[in-house]
Structure 1
Amino acid sequence: MRPALPLTCAASLLLAIALPATAQTSPWTLRTGPARVTLHTETRLSVAGNDVPGAAVAASGSDPLGLELGRRLDEAWTARLAIGLPLPESTLRTAGSLQAMVPPLSGTLGRVQYAPLVLTATWSPGRWGALQPYVGAGINHTRITRTEDGDLSGLTVDHAWGSVLQLGASWALDARWALFADARTVRLKTTARGQLTALGGLPAEAKVRLDPTIVHIGLEYRP
């Protein structure tokens, strides 16, 4: 897999929609700070082609360092590309009726490392003193970079696309530095597949809605 490819494409798109920079003020901003990714899962699980009533998969969240590159398009609009480093990981665990199968299942279905790229356009109504709120929308591409087997052997998880809604605000400290707080909600679905070794290698497929919430706070710098 090539996790750098979607980053390159998204960065190219960001540059393509950008307007020429003014000589007086840089249109670029760089943000960094701690981020919290919380996954809200809904699952439809089938084993050997048969639905398992009440089965669910719980996915753990993560706390990467958030990085965001921004490009002001005009006084109201800004294009933003956000990533998380190191790449987030999530542990997939049994939930719902699957808990009745522990044992023979261990409770850990597997682990996934992924590269989430979030490209949005935000609109601001203007500044009130040092405060500048904004709202936005865009797209998310989550690329699976590594999987680790648990109760599911031969675990594979599909890459996924989703829509994004965004809300945030910055507080200017001076001409170059600002504090910010930002929240994004993502609508995201994927499918995981593997074989349940403890059940004789029966094939299993889980269609999972993840719908992550990403909260990001930190410092903004304008060169």
Structure 2
Amino acid sequence: MTGPNGPMGPLKACVSTCAVFALSLGAARAADVSSPAPAPEPAPILPSLSGWYVKAGALGVWSRSSSNLYSQALGEVAVPGGFLPVGVGPQLQIPGRNASYSNIYTVGVVGGYYFTPNWSMEVEGGFPVWSDVRVNGPVPPGGGPPAGTLLAKVMPAGIPITGVYHFTQFGSFQPYLGAGVLPTFALAVRDGYATGGSYQPALGVVVQGGFDFMFNQHWGVFFDAKQSVASTTGNASGINVGPPLGIVSASSWIKTTAKPVSFMTGLTYRF
């Protein structure tokens, strides 16, 4: 028992080895406690399983456009008791004259569907309002209405139909880009200097960009901007020259290339 090779030697060696192992294990556990595991990254807020979503908010349209005006020349025809002015000959472009459309402010609504977490298709509409069409440019030598005269009031309707790509790698902030087509038509036309007016339906193109900021899986806010390009033609069957003649039968038309820019902001809801 007293020698290095006595019966207690192997036991002492075993106890020493166990002590060293226990101390090493305790140190490792202490290191784990002092170095907490990193917090997991928050998962991005993605569309819910149904895929449907709606947006609603304030909509403003900056009605940029360029228009050419065409009209018959005014002549006179003999009637019992005198002469009556009427439009004669072909419709010719009125040099130096064009028309502008007033801006639109209304309430807009968007409905869409997610085919994947990144791709969706959406349709936009708005509460219809009137836009003033006014003549611009100097009065030609042959006469005509002064600049600023109301040619007509039109209630335009445009329905952008776009495919949209959503960037979902930024969590709650989700920017997007889109492009598509823009069917346009006039819901109604009111007479001004031009009477008996109508507008032909047209098909334009549109590009868009914006972002959603989601508060949770369903609710968020959004901002959207669209640039559209469309060409349309309006026709009129008469002009109102005022008392005492009133409305004179003369055909005219307006050819418009519209490049409206629209802005919309409001609430998003995903079903």
**Shorter-normalised TM-score: what interval?**
0.7 to 0.9
Counterpart of 1:215 in structure 2: which amino acid?
F
How far apart are the structure 2 equivalents of 1:209 and 1:125? 33
Q: Kindly indicate whether the alpha-carbon contact (under 8 Å) linking 2:136 and 2:148 is maintained by their aligned counterparts in 1.
A: no
**Structure 1 counterpart of 2:174, from 132, 143, 147:** 132
Report the count of equivalent residues.
199
> Over the residues paired in the alignment, what is the CA RMSD in angstroms?
2.1
The residue number in structure 2 matching 1:204 is 252
How far apart are the structure 2 equivalents of 1:126 and 1:52? 53
Q: Runs of 4 or more off by more than 4 Å in structure 1? A: none
Asked if 1:42 corresponds to 2:40, the answer is: no
**Structure 2 counterpart of 1:94, from 131, 135, 154:** 135
For normalisation by structure 2, the TM-score amounts to 0.69
Structure whose alpha-carbon radius of gyration is higher: 2
How far apart are the structure 2 equivalents of 1:127 and 1:181? 18
Q: Kindly indicate whether the alpha-carbon contact (under 8 Å) linking 1:141 and 1:162 is maintained by their aligned counterparts in 2.
A: yes
State the secondary structure of the residue aligned to 2:197.
strand
Asked if 1:55 corresponds to 2:97, the answer is: yes
Query: Which one is further off, 87-96 or 197-206?
Result: 197-206
Query: Which one is further off, 47-56 or 63-72?
Result: 47-56
Shift in Å at residue 88 of structure 1?
2.8
How far apart are the structure 2 equivalents of 1:166 and 1:125? 14
For normalisation by structure 1, the TM-score amounts to 0.83
Could you give the per-residue CA deviations for residues 92-120 of structure 1, whole angstroms, max 9, x where no partner exists? 111123598445x8700011113321110
Taking only the aligned residue pairs, the percentage that are identical comes to: 24
Q: Kindly indicate whether the alpha-carbon contact (under 8 Å) linking 1:191 and 1:208 is maintained by their aligned counterparts in 2.
A: yes
The residue number in structure 1 matching 2:7 is none
Shift in Å at residue 206 of structure 1?
1.0
The residue number in structure 1 matching 2:43 is none
How far apart are the structure 1 equivalents of 2:139 and 2:178? 38
**Structure 1 unaligned spans of 5+:** 1-23
State the secondary structure of the residue aligned to 1:63.
strand
Q: 1:181 to 1:69 in 2, by over 3 A?
A: same
Could you give the per-residue CA deviations for residues 31-53 of structure 1, whole angstroms, max 9, x where no partner exists? 00000011111112111122112
The residue number in structure 2 matching 1:11 is none
